[in-house]
Amino acid sequence: MGKGEDKGCSMRRIEAGSRYTYLPEGCRLCRKGAKLVLFVTGICNNSCFYCPVSKEKIGRDVVFANERPVKSVEDVFEEIEMMDAEGIAITGGEPLLKIEKVREYLKLAKKLDLHVHLYTSLPAGEKLKKLEGLDEIRFHPPELKSPEKYEESIRLAKKLGMDAGFEIPAIRFEEKIVEIVNRNDAFLNVNQLEVSESNWERIAESYSITDYYVSDEETERIVKEYERAEKFHYCSARFKDIAQFRRRLIRMAMNHPEFYAVTRDGTLVCTRVEGDAERLSIAEEILRKAGQEFVRFEDCIETTPELEKKIREALKSEGLRLRIVERYPTYNRLVLEVMDI
Ligand code: SF4
């Protein structure tokens, strides 16, 4: 048995309609917002109709640690630090098409004592023996076809000491999946199908959509059937937003300098000083002289949202633009709200 919650507990209901009888360790960390998503390649030999990978990433051999583009292992390390990660989810594309990269990241994770789980659409077979340090593996049969091909690999993964199971979107009920997990003491994770720019047209042809996911009613009809799996976990789309993502933001926000104001949603509020490079250097001088903490980016400076009036005036008199900004604490600094001051 893996490190997740023990088999056999009755159904536990958690946030936003999610529930489980067994929660794999990777999901437990994800719920805490402590899981870093490591996208190791956009290359994949399948073309699932519901594939959520963006058009910019699919088919391209690119690496991202959460929102951060990765050029070297150091970038991954920085992202781990930024969110105080306790675990890594290796995903793609198809990660096992780039197994050497996966091995490199596994080494880093083990050095830092992080839990690692990996998603794959391949019945990995003997490749599993190369994944030293992997704690948990989740098999995804594309469009739920031929799940029996994965049974041998589930057995082998468990023999190698990994926790193992299926992770599937709730597109339909596939009896064989339940039989395989129950036969092998494996887990089953079922996800509500989410709609993104890249997949919504194809999903809308066959399912009814509410907001950005397949409706709860339609999903529940399918998920109910899967509850026959002994080690069962259902993860709703809203759960990902209100629990997992929000908690990750809070962890990241808390690792920023104290002058940022942190909201209950884990976003940051600050004053953003904008201008060309020369003016930004003048702004740095002004803030330094005033003893004001700040962070310099290539395109702007960020400092406290409660900047004194005389400092604001001094900056403006140098032709700099000042705005109060609410943004994500993520690498891409996605802005949610802006107000000129
Ligand atoms: S296996 Fe995954 S990455 Fe590949 S096409 Fe299907 S959903 Fe997309």
pLDDT in tens, 246-283: 999 999 999 999 999 999 999 999 999 999 999 999 99
| Closest atom of ligand 1 to CA, residue 121 | 1
Residue nearest to atom 5 of ligand 1 (CA): 47
Is residue 122 in contact with ligand 1, taking CB distance under 6 Å? no
Give the model's confidence band at 12: pLDDT under 50 very low, under 70 low, under 90 confident, else very high. Answer: very high
CATH class of 12-253: alpha beta
Collapse the DSSP code of 309 into the 3-class scheme (helix H, G, I; strand E, B; otherwise coil) and give the result: helix
Distance 110 CA to ligand 1 centre (A): 27
Probe residue for ligand 1, chosen from 56, 96, 119, 121 as the CB with the greatest number of ligand atoms within 8 Å: 121
What are the boundaries of each domain within the chain? 12-253, 261-340
pLDDT in tens, 126-156: 999 999 999 999 999 999 999 999 999 999 9
Q: Please give the Cα distance from 110 to 142 (Å, whole number).
A: 29
DSSP string computed for 146-211: -GGGGHHHHHHHHHTT-EEEEEEESSS--HHHHHHHHHHT-EEEEEPPB--TTTHHHHHTTS-EET
Helix (H) or strand (E) holding 35: strand 35-41
DSSP string computed for 247-274: HHHHHHHTTS-TTSEE-TTS-EEEEEEE
Contacts of 43 (CB under 8 A, 6+ apart): 59, 60, 61, 92, 93, 94, 97, 98
Q: Tell me, what amino acid is at 302? A: E
Is residue 46 in contact with ligand 1, taking CB distance under 6 Å? yes
What CATH topology corresponds to 261-340?
Answer: Alpha-Beta Plaits (3.30.70)
**Tokens found for residue 258:** 């104290």
Probe residue for ligand 1, chosen from 41, 45, 48 as the CB with the greatest number of ligand atoms within 8 Å: 48
Probe residue for ligand 1, chosen from 51, 145, 198 as the CB with the greatest number of ligand atoms within 8 Å: 51
Distance 93 CA to ligand 1 centre (A): 6
Collapse the DSSP code of 103 into the 3-class scheme (helix H, G, I; strand E, B; otherwise coil) and give the result: helix
Contacts of 63 (CB under 8 A, 6+ apart): 38, 39, 40, 41, 69, 70, 101
Distance 225 CA to ligand 1 centre (A): 24
Distance 170 CA to ligand 1 centre (A): 15
Residue 2's pLDDT is what?
45
Residue 1's pLDDT is what?
42
Give the mean pLDDT of 172-182: 98
pLDDT in tens, 79-121: 999 999 999 999 999 999 999 999 999 999 999 999 999 999 9
196 pLDDT more than 60 = yes
Residue 73's pLDDT is what?
94
Alpha-carbon distances of 41 from 14, 102, 119, 191, rounded to whole Å: 32, 10, 12, 22
| Fold match between domain 12-253 and domain 261-340 | no
Residue 8's pLDDT is what?
54
Residue 337's pLDDT is what?
97
